[in-house]
Amino acid sequence: MFDQIPLSKSREKNYDTLQGAFNGLIDAQENRITNLANASALIYYFMDTINWAGFYLTDEEDTLVLGPFQGLPACTKIPFNQGVCGRAAALQKTVIVDDVNAFDDHIACDARSQSEIVVPLIKNGETVGVIDIDSPEKNRFNTLDQTMLETLAKTLVDKCW
């Protein structure tokens, strides 16, 4: 059904469509994994120039474990404070890396990835997971992506946690 929605050349417009699709598809009554699986599919469809989009979810002892995603298989566990994901989880702030080759602590899962954005999912002050998106182009992510993905993150946490 969603492949019939045309993509715009405007990233802002695509985010608006994505947010609308999110609101329609992410059902608070559903299983959390079900909703996150559909969320990763929507992000992967509506964002251009990306090669991986998905979730890491907080497990015991401040460790992130791989959740639903689209893209190549990825590393399964990331401690808080390691990698871009762990940093965003520990700081509770969005982290944008313009060039992963210049980021010492980057954990390479897909050799094509050149830039990355990680947005924390925060519930009652606790990091419950992160959204992680990789691009095969350097400098792919900017403040528009940050603003729109933080809104999506809030919708997800409100509906799924």
157 makes contact with ligand SME (CB under 6 A): no
Minimal distance, residue 103 CB to ligand SME, in Å = 8
**45 and 14 Cβ atoms separated by less than 8 Å:** no
* 35-54 binders of ligand SME (CB under 6 A): 52
Name the one residue in this structure whose structure tokens are 């009554």: 29
**Residue 96, SS3 per DSSP:** strand
83 makes contact with ligand SME (CB under 6 A): yes
* Rounded distance between C-alpha atoms, residue 38 and residue 54, angstroms: 10
In the chain the first and final C-alpha atoms are separated, in Å, by 26
Q: Quick one: 17 or 153, whose CB is closer to ligand SME? A: 153
116 makes contact with ligand SME (CB under 6 A): yes
74 makes contact with ligand SME (CB under 6 A): yes
Q: What is the residue type of 11? A: R
122 makes contact with ligand SME (CB under 6 A): no
Minimal distance, residue 87 CB to ligand SME, in Å = 8
